[in-house]
Amino acid sequence: MGRIYCAVIALLALTGAAVAGYLTYLHFYPAGYENFVICGPESAGNCDALIQGEYATLFGIPVAAYGLFAYLAVLFTALVAGYAGGLYRLYGLLIILPLVAVSLAADAVLAAVMIRLQIFCILCLATYLINVLLLAAGCLWYRRLKRQDGVTLRDALRALRAAGAGRHGAKAAAALYVLFVTFLAFSVFAASAMLGIRTDAARQPKDQTQQTYEAFYRQQAENLQLPPTTLTVGSADAKVKIVVFTDFLCAACYQFYQLEKELTAQYGDAVAFAYYNYPLDKECNPDLQRTMYASSCTAAGSMLAAASLGFFPEYMAEHFARYHEFHGQYGPDKAAATAAGLSDPARFMAVADSAAVRQILRRDIALADKLRIKATPTLFINGRRMVGVPSRELMAAIIERELRSDAR
């Protein structure tokens, strides 16, 4: 029976190592064009918004790499303990159980981050499930050993101290174990650091950017024929026009706004953005199966009100500057507070709740449905569709090509 518990723990640790290794890989080589960071029903398994975000690293190392090390340490410890037998099984549990407990604590922090950012990462959820199963298997194994041999972890700890102070063989075994774990940590973290240097912190490797770029231009430009929108940033004479269907509370749309600021700073009046609303909120978008961002209908109405009153770019900038305050707490009071320095809040909210604003919002949602838009942000760059937040390198390559084409 003991070998079964050992095998179960080893298998779970191996599975966890595979998931953590894949998450570490995605940190340096994020998914390509088909899997850009998005919000919407299609984004349930998309982890990019989390593993590319500000909480993705600790001391310059991807958080997933720490998980990879922990799983590999558990795997090695379980195999050694199962093979050696005797008290070594308890010695192994002395190491495995605290490691798994720390991993579960890290998962709790990760869950809090996902709730704060309103991001669901199925791979991160998988690590939580694996850690729960590891803890359960370890506790069951310990319970059986305690019942079978009549010894506890405290007894094993005392025996370990006595062995360390006595026999040279035990000291040598402990030293070899420490040496191996140290080498394992060095290997995992050094490999992660080398990947970071190799990719130069880029979101996409050059070859992947090129493949995505080519796939984008294999599409035909769509004849959108959209009605004008008041939600615009940039010059009406811009050579590159980017249409954005967005949810102003969506985590991916927040990332796109950061990208928009960089592109506007670099290309100036050569690039313009035209926004249309697609709130992921059943309150005004009844065709959705579930609400992903509560009160995003209110956020959409606020943007339309700001545009109607003549300060949309300023209001959007203030909105996204406060974005991290809004998670799960956005409502008319937050919308009014955001407008406080730009307009009379009472007047602003009256416009936001007006029939004219509701009509435009219904129009935008109908346009999105007609275009079969299911996720935000969905972009149309001079008519060509792109779903999700692209890398800065990809957007720069596309914009520069469009500018060259226009010049000819």
The encoded tokens of residue 208 equal 């992947």
Rounded to the nearest integer, the mean pLDDT of the chain is 84
184 lies in the same domain as 242:
no
Nearest 10 degrees: Cα torsion 145, 147, 148, 149:
70
pLDDT (mean) for 217-229: 91
Q: pLDDT-based confidence at 74, cuts 50/70/90? A: very high
Instruction: Report the sign of the C-alpha dihedral through residues 212, 217, 220, 225, in that order.
Output: positive
CATH number of the domain at 220, please: 3.40.30.10
Among 70, 76, 93, smallest CA distance to 2 is for: 93
Q: Is the pLDDT confidence value at 374 over 60?
A: yes
341 lies in the same domain as 279:
yes
92 lies in the same domain as 70:
yes
The encoded tokens of residue 221 equal 């430009």
SS (H, E, C) 81-123: HHHHCCHHHHHHHHHHHHHHHHHHHHHHHHHHHHHHHCCCCHH
Tell me the percentage of the chain whose pLDDT exceeds 90: 44
Q: Would you say 43 and 252 are in contact if contact means Cβ atoms under 8 Å apart?
A: yes
**Contacts (Cβ under 8 Å, ≥6 apart) of 343:** 306, 309, 311
**Contacts (Cβ under 8 Å, ≥6 apart) of 69:** 184, 185, 188, 189
- Among residues 183, 199, 215, the one where a domain terminates is 199
Rounded to whole angstroms, how far apart are CA atoms 335 and 340? 9
- Among residues 141, 170, 199, the one where a domain terminates is 199
The encoded tokens of residue 39 equal 């919000």
pLDDT (mean) for 361-378: 94
Q: How many domains does the chain have?
A: 2
252 lies in the same domain as 186:
no
Domain range for residue 375?
206-407
Q: Is the pLDDT confidence value at 378 over 90?
A: yes
Report the Cα–Cα distance between both ends of the chain, in Å, rounded.
75
Q: Is the pLDDT confidence value at 248 over 70?
A: yes
- Write phi, then psi, for 195 (nearest 5 degrees): -65, -40
pLDDT (mean) for 17-42: 71
Least confident of 99-113, 135-149, 335-349, 380-394: 135-149
Q: Is the pLDDT confidence value at 52 over 90?
A: no
Q: Is the pLDDT confidence value at 270 over 50?
A: yes
Strand order across the beta sheet in which 271-277 lies:
232-233, 271-277, 240-246, 378-381, 384-387
32 lies in the same domain as 161:
yes
CATH number of the domain at 141, please: 1.20.1440.130
Q: pLDDT-based confidence at 148, cuts 50/70/90? A: confident
Return the SS3 of 213: helix
Q: Is the pLDDT confidence value at 408 over 60?
A: no
Question: What is the rounded radius of gyration, in angstroms, for the C-alpha atoms of the chain?
Answer: 27
The encoded tokens of residue 144 equal 């059986």
Q: pLDDT-based confidence at 112, cuts 50/70/90? A: confident
Q: What does the pLDDT read at residue 169?
A: 53
pLDDT (mean) for 19-27: 84
Number of neighbours of residue 89 by Cβ within 10 angstroms: 26
SS (H, E, C) 172-188: HHHHHHHHHHHHHHHHH
